[in-house]
Amino acid sequence: MLRQITGRLIEAFAALLLMSLVIFLLSRVTGDPVALLLSDSATEADRQMLIEQLHLDQPMWRQYLSFVGNALQGDFGQSVNAGRQDALDLVMSRLPASISLAAVALAFTLVVGIAMGVVAAVTRGSWIDVLVRVIALLGQSVPSFWLGIVLIYIVSVKWGLLPTSGYGTWQHYILPALTLGTFTLAAVTRLVRASMLDALGSEYVKLARVKGVSEATVIFKHALSNSLIPVVTFMGAFFATMITGAVVVETVFAWPGIGRLAYESIVSRDFPVIQTVVLVITAMFILANFAVDMLYLAIDPRMRDAG
Amino acid sequence: MIHTTRAALLSAAAATCLALPALAADGELVIATPTLSDQTMTPWSGSGQRKTYLDLVYEYLVYLDPEGNTEPGLAESWEMSNEGKTWTFHLREGVPFSDESCGDVTAEDVKYSIERLVAEDSRAGPASTMRRIIDTIDTPDDLTVVVNLKAPDFLLDKGYFGEAQQLGIVCKSYIEGLAAGADTAAPVGTGPYVLDHSTDGSEVVLTLRDIDHWRVSPDWETVAIRIVPEEATRVAMLQAGEADIAPVSFDSIAGLKDAGLRIVSAEKTWSPVIRLGGTVQTDEARFNKENPWSDVRVRQAMNYAIDKQAIIDELFAGEGTVANGDTPVAAWDSVQPYPYDPDKARELLAEAGYPDGFDMTLKTFATTPGAELPLMAEAAALYWADVGINATIEPGDWPSIRTEWTSGKALDFAMTHRGFPFPNPENGVEAGFSTQSLFASFTSDDLEALMAELAAETDPAARTEKLTEIGQYIRDQAGAVFMVLANEPWAVGPDVGEWVIDTAYVYNFDTVGKAE
């Protein structure tokens, strides 16, 4: 088990390092912040001065090495934007908004998705099953910016029930979480339905039924607990989808999270912030998968033995 | 213990329930804006986009009326001498800063504010050009500031020192007492509002000072400026009563009017234009003779070929006028725009040796304001196709296009662009058409000579005449494909009364009235 954990940690570190190189190069391919920070009537001398101030005059490999070296010591540099805030501070200050939104959306997805999946599986072939599958299909096909705007118009403008956008109270969470969760809701529903159908047709469920166990116990204790294993496997991926999918949702709902920070820093070619956002998201992705692996070891005895 | 916690939770929940829906409170003016830019709080630490909130806190030496004439600000009077190279400002007495330890504005504060704005690490838009002209600053007494320039600037009061620019006056002792890099600390100025709080990426909230302010007496206790990047969300906020003021697109105007909201337009505050790259004829490195539009007849043909009024009616909801230059300049009012004349365009193309037209690349991007630029590019290309010019449209984003544009190379493409009026139009001409500007797309020896003559002229009337002559020259030479002098529409909710926007970047949020 310890060997597994150590292996995972080494993999995680390698992934982060690779990601840092990819994002370092990618963000520099499409333009540099100097052109944006200069005023229209700037001269060549002004440009040189700014390049020096931002340390962009050094060769690329040296910029990368000093970035990695500093990052290892927890220094991710300063935003090239005027505030020159510490890039890590900036990302960390936006992180709670994103994580809390993702957590609420994930909770919504799991509760509703599992319920819908179970109902669909149990009523397989009936109109309820068809309805659930249609809802799941719609959820996966509707673009989230469209869903978000439609929800705002119906729930906030027409009915006046919830705030249109912004951040602060629990009411602010409802529409963005609904929008963000809808895509994964479809995935969870389909996943649970499929594995429930497998479980319901399995030998141990048949045995339980033969032994006269009540239908509710069969469904919830025997079948459901086993069908949730694939859901746990995908939870890390779901969580990551929510963080990355947040770019759109955070823009529509004016949510001050890292998704919008990522977008804004890309638009202004704010290299240090882009790098930090991507690395933090990567780290979270790795962490979520790591947590899922650990959870897996805890709930599935076969995995422990394999280790 | 458990009971009190539960009770507290319940009452908190009840309180938030009662707060629904989140309507703007009485006395609170809510402005939804696509960006707050850097959210830094000193004039020199970022772009002019921050003026939406900084202008409520800081004040300027000189203000402008809606016609663009100067009005006294923190300077009660001023005069220019030494052929435009010396400016003397006489400060208003007894204007207190919001921080008591600062006392009233003095000449030292003004001197410090100027020096800080033009310092090498300044990120203010006009810093580099101001640095080039400002020499020394003297303070003969507490209320007199003498600014000595290296080169004449006959419009320093309207331009760099006016309210449309970034020279907000700060309290010297307060700034010097802050740790270095404390540009996000609470700002201290002489304006009618003070910062309540600034939440990064979210909002800036200001509250009214409890004083009898010398310049304005605002109607709103609180002004909250919130970032709402998505236009559809801003429109929804207006309709739900969550926002009082928001910039909107031309597309939304009809719907908002139907919903009973009012539109306040800032007239001619930005100018969609198509700039033709590589025509910096005075710089070997940046002049691309291969471009068909290096021939003036081709540039003229490209202007004649487009029905700009149709584009204004269709894409800009009629909110604009056909452009006669690349930015709106009052001195160019007599300059006639190119009429729509495709036959003339074909004739000119044939004369220039392109009877069958040519292929070209037109790069475009969307921005705010400027969501219409890509569609405008499509429309222009359709009109050009009619006279044989085959433009391939390459959508991109501003950072990458601007990087290319200012690279100093001989460009072989055209781009859509969005200009703003310059408080001092001479600075605009310099940015677009002088060799020393990295951004310039069209220059010529004749134009350089005209600009030198303008710089040497000391008589105000003669200067205006010279500026008109320059405008006429740029128009005749077709220094760009001039498109639209566009308005900037803002929607206002039912609680807002009288409100006038002077010009780009001068939003007057401290004079927004309340509805009766």
Q: Residue range A254-282: average pLDDT?
A: 87
Question: Could you please report the per-residue DSSP string of B54-72?
Answer: HHHH---SEEE-TTS-EEE
Confidence at residue A303, expressed as pLDDT on a 0 to 100 scale: 65
Q: Indicate whether B25 pLDDT > 80.
A: no
pLDDT of residue B12 exceeding 50, the answer is: no
The token duo for A14 is 């390698």
pLDDT tens digits, B222-249: 999 999 999 999 999 999 999 999 999 8
- Segment A122-127 mean pLDDT: 91
Residue of B nearest to A83 (CA): B40
How far apart (Å, rounded) are the C-alpha atoms in residues B377 and B365?
9
Interface contact B19-A169, CB threshold 8 A: yes
Q: In the predicted model, what is the mean pLDDT of residues B23-40? A: 85
For residue A90, the chain B residues in CB contact (below 8 A) are 200
Instruction: Give the pLDDT of residue B251.
Output: 87
Q: State the Cα–Cα distance between residues B475 and A218, nearest whole angstrom.
A: 83
More confident residue, A34 or A119: A119
Tell me which chain B residues have a C-beta less than 8 angstroms from the C-beta of A267: 397-399
Contact B232 A149 (CB under 8 A): yes
Per-residue model confidence (pLDDT) at position B65: 85
Q: Find the mean pLDDT for residues B56-64.
A: 96
Q: Which of B145, B22, B335 is nearest to A155 (CA)?
A: B22
Residue B241: what are its φ and ψ, rounded to 5°?
80, 15
Q: What is the CATH number of the domain that holds A185?
A: 1.10.3720.10
Q: Could you tell me if residue A12 is inside a domain? A: no
pLDDT of residue B142: 96
Phi first, then psi: give them for residue A242, nearest 5 degrees. -70, -40
**Nearest CB neighbour to B201, from listed A33, A82, A256:** A256
Instruction: Name the more confident of B33 and A229.
Output: B33
Q: What is the pLDDT of residues B255-300, one digit of tens each?
A: 999 989 999 988 888 899 999 999 999 999 999 999 999 999 999 9
Which pLDDT belongs to residue B364? 96
Average pLDDT of B315-329? 93
Distance between CA atoms of residues B504 and B422, nearest Å: 9
pLDDT at A307 over 50: no
| Beta strands B75-81; B359-364: pairing state | unpaired
Query: Which residue did the predictor score with more confidence, B58 or A222?
Result: B58
* pLDDT score at A82: 59
* pLDDT at residue number A269: 80
Q: Sorting pLDDT into bands at 50, 70 and 90, what band is B24? A: low
Contact A40 B439 (CB under 8 A): yes
What's the domain count of chain A?
A: 1
User: Residues of A244-274 as b/e, b for ≥16 C-beta within 10 angstroms?
Assistant: ebbbbbbbbbbbbbbbbbbbbbbebbbbbbb
Share of chain B above pLDDT 90, in %: 69
Closest CA to B386 of B306, B450, B287, B313: B306
Q: Is the pLDDT of residue B66 over 50?
A: yes
CB–CB contact B120 A36 (8 Å)? no
What pLDDT was estimated at residue A25? 85
Identify the band that residue B6 occupies on the pLDDT scale cut at 50, 70 and 90. very low
Residues 6+ apart with CB under 8 A from B182: none
Report the distance separating Cα B72 and Cα B419, nearest Å: 28
The conformational region for residue A16 under phi > 0 = left, psi -120 to 50 = alpha, else beta, is: alpha
Residue range B100-114: average pLDDT?
A: 96
Q: Do B432 and A40 touch (CB under 8 A)?
A: yes
Q: Is the pLDDT of residue B20 over 50?
A: no
Residue A307 domain flag = no
> pLDDT above 70 covers what percent of chain B?
94
Domain assignment present for A141: yes
- Strand pairing category for B320-322 and B481-482: unpaired
Query: Best residue in A53, A165, A251 to probe B by mutation, most B CBs within 10 Å?
Result: A165
Question: B236 vs A254: CB contact, 8 Å cut-off?
Answer: no
Q: Is the pLDDT of residue B8 over 60?
A: no
pTM listed for this prediction: 0.86
Whether pLDDT at B21 is above 50: no
Report H helices in A43-86.
44-53, 60-72
DSSP letters spanning A223-273 = IIHHHHHHHHHHHHHHHHHHHHHHHHHHHHTT--SHHHHHHHHHHTT-HHH
Distance set, CA B342 to CA A270, B300, B350, B460 (Å): 45, 11, 12, 40
**What is the nearest CA distance from A195 to chain B, expressed in angstroms?**
39
Does residue A299 form part of some domain?
no
Residue B415 or A72, more confident: B415
Question: Could you report the predicted ipTM of this complex, rounded to two decimals?
Answer: 0.84
Q: Is A23 inside a domain boundary?
A: no
Contact A200, A222 (CB under 8 A): no
**pLDDT, tens only, B142-177:** 999 999 999 888 889 989 999 999 999 999 999 999
B208 pLDDT above the threshold of 50: yes
> Does any domain span residue A137?
yes
Domain membership of residue A74 (yes or no) is no
Domain of A148 in residue numbering reads as: 94-268
**Contacts with A41 from chain B: Cβ below 8 Å:** 128-129, 427, 430-431, 434, 437, 439
pLDDT computed for residue A304 by the predictor: 62
For residue A60, being part of any structural domain is answered with no
